[in-house]
Structure 1
Amino acid sequence: MLISLIGMSGSGKSYWSEKLAWQGFKRFCLDALITEKVSVKLSREDLSPMSLGEWMGFPFQDGYQEREELYLSYEKQLMAEILDWIDGKACAGLEANVVLDTTGSVIYTGENLLKRLRSLTTVIYFPVPAVIREAMLRQYLSNPRPVLWRRIFNIEPGESVEEALFRSYNALLDWREVAYRELADIEIDYFTRNNPDFRICDFLEIAAKPEKKFRCVST
C-alpha cells in the first residue's frame, strides 16, 4: 500500500505516519528531510541549535520570503526523489508499503509533482475543523512550525500583528482546504482520527477503500 498524508502542519500527519512505520511501512517525512538539507543554518548567533520553524520565522520578519523559497525548493527536490524511488519500485514490479508524510505546503510543489503523487499513492487528507483553528494558531505562535504563507499574510490599517496573523491564518486555511480536497482521494475527519477507539487497522481499512491500481509512470 502506498499512502500520502496531506494537511496543515499540526493536523496529525506525523503521528499517523509514525504509527504506520511501526506496522512496517517505509516512512518518508518531508519535514525531517528538509531539516537535514538546511541543518547548517539551524543555529543561533551563540551557536545553540534552533528548530526548523524558528529558522523559517514569521511572515512579517525580515528574510522570511527568501527562507520560504529555499524551503520550497528543497521540498520540490525531495518530493521528486521520493516519487522517483516509489516509481522505480512500481516499474520493477516490487510491492512495498510506503507512507509519505508531506508538509503542509505540498500543494505548492507544482502540477507535475502533484499529478505524480496522486498517480503513485493514495492521498489521504486530514482536515481541521474551524473550532480547532484558534488552538492551532496559538500553538504556532508559541512553538513555530515552518509554514509557507505565500503572501497571504498582510497587516491591515489598525490591526495588531496578532490580529493580522489570526485573520490571515484563517484565510490561508480556507484556501488550502480547497486545494487539499482537490488533491485527496479520501479524507479522515478530525474527530474520527482523534477518537481513542480509532485504531491503525481502522485507518488502513479506510486507506484501502479507493482500490487504486498503482502503475509505473516513468517515461
Structure 2
Amino acid sequence: MELALLTQSEFDAHIANKTLRLAFIGMSNVGKSYRSKMLCNESGFDWYQVDKEILKSLGFSSMEEESKWLGLPHSVTYQERERAYLDAEAKHTKLDFLTSGKNLVFDTTGSVPYLQSPTTTWLKEHCLVVHLDAGEQSIALMIKRFFEQPKPVIWNGLYERRQGETEKEALERCYPVLLADRLKKYRAMAHVNIKAEDLYDKSGDETLRIIRSHLTV
C-alpha cells in the first residue's frame, strides 16, 4: 500500500487502529531518535531503532566500536566494510513483522537513501516516510563539526581523492558534496518534508499534529 496519498482522516484512523507506520529519515543528529523517543514514551508507539539492530548484527556493543571498524573512506578495508554495513542496514530496514498491535516508528540511519530500491520501495509502501529537513543552511555547521572530529560515514562512492590531493583535502572537497546529495535524496524519498526546526522540542502528540497538518484534507 502506497502511503503517499494518506489523508488527514486516514492518518487519524491509522492512529486509532494502531496501524500507523512512520519512518523518520534525515541527516545524522537532526532529531530522528529524539522524535522517535517522544512518540514511544508519550504516544505509545513501538520504537524500532535501525542503528541498534545493525550494531547487534555486526557484533558490536557501541557506535564507537562500529565507527572504528568502518573507518574513513581512504582506508584499505573501507569499501568492503561499507558494503557489509549497507547489507546489514537493508536487512534490518525491510522487516517481515509489522503487526505489533501498536503504532510503530522507524528510526532510520542517515544512509537510508543509499539502500537498493527493493528496500527503499518497501519502506515507502509500508510506512509514511517523514523527512526531518535540516535545510541547506545547516550544511556549513555539519561540515564544521565533521572536520573538528571526523567520523566514519557511508560515502556511497562520493569520496574520490584526486591526484596531488592529501586525504584531508579530498575529505574537505567531497564531504559537502555528500551532504548535498543526501539532502536531495531525502527530499525525493519522503512522502512528507518537514523543517527539523518546526519539530524542535515538541511532544509526541505535537509531533503527530504537525505531521498531520502536512497531509491532504
What is the match of residue 207 of structure 2?
A: 203
What is the match of residue 173 of structure 2?
A: 167
Contact 1:4–1:122 (8 Å) recurs in 2: yes
Distance in 2 (CA, whole Å) between partners of 1:136 and 1:208 is 29
Contact 2:73–2:79 (8 Å) recurs in 1: yes
Equivalent of residue 97 in structure 1, options 97, 103, 106: 103
Q: How big is the shift at 1:157?
A: 4.0
Distance in 2 (CA, whole Å) between partners of 1:134 and 1:54 is 25
Distance in 1 (CA, whole Å) between partners of 2:176 and 2:195 is 18
2:172 is paired with a residue whose SS is helix
Q: How big is the shift at 1:37?
A: 1.2
Percent identity over the alignment is: 30
Equivalent of residue 182 in structure 1, options 184, 188, 197: 188
Contact 1:185–1:210 (8 Å) recurs in 2: no
CA 1:210 to 1:2, structure 2 compared with 1: closer, same or farther past 3 Å? Answer: farther
Contact 2:143–2:176 (8 Å) recurs in 1: no
Contact 2:38–2:203 (8 Å) recurs in 1: no
Q: How big is the shift at 1:141?
A: 4.6
What is the match of residue 46 of structure 1?
A: none
Distance in 1 (CA, whole Å) between partners of 2:151 and 2:56 is 15
1:117 is paired with a residue whose SS is helix
Distance in 2 (CA, whole Å) between partners of 1:159 and 1:3 is 43
Structure 1: unaligned runs, 5 residues or longer: 44-48, 213-219
Provide runs of 4+ in structure 1 moved above 6 Å: none
Distance in 2 (CA, whole Å) between partners of 1:205 and 1:29 is 22
CA 1:158 to 1:145, structure 2 compared with 1: closer, same or farther past 3 Å? Answer: closer
CA RMSD, aligned part only? 2.5
1:151 is paired with a residue whose SS is coil
What is the match of residue 35 of structure 1?
A: 55
CA 1:51 to 1:134, structure 2 compared with 1: closer, same or farther past 3 Å? Answer: farther
What is the match of residue 134 of structure 1?
A: 140
TM-score, scaled to structure 1: 0.78
Contact 2:39–2:205 (8 Å) recurs in 1: no
Equivalent of residue 5 in structure 1, options 6, 11, 24: 24
Q: How big is the shift at 1:137?
A: 3.2
What is the match of residue 89 of structure 2?
A: 75
Q: How big is the shift at 1:169?
A: 1.5
Tell me how many residue pairs correspond in the alignment: 196
1:4 is paired with a residue whose SS is strand
TM-score, scaled to structure 2: 0.79
What is the match of residue 217 of structure 1?
A: none
Structure 2: unaligned runs, 5 residues or longer: 1-19
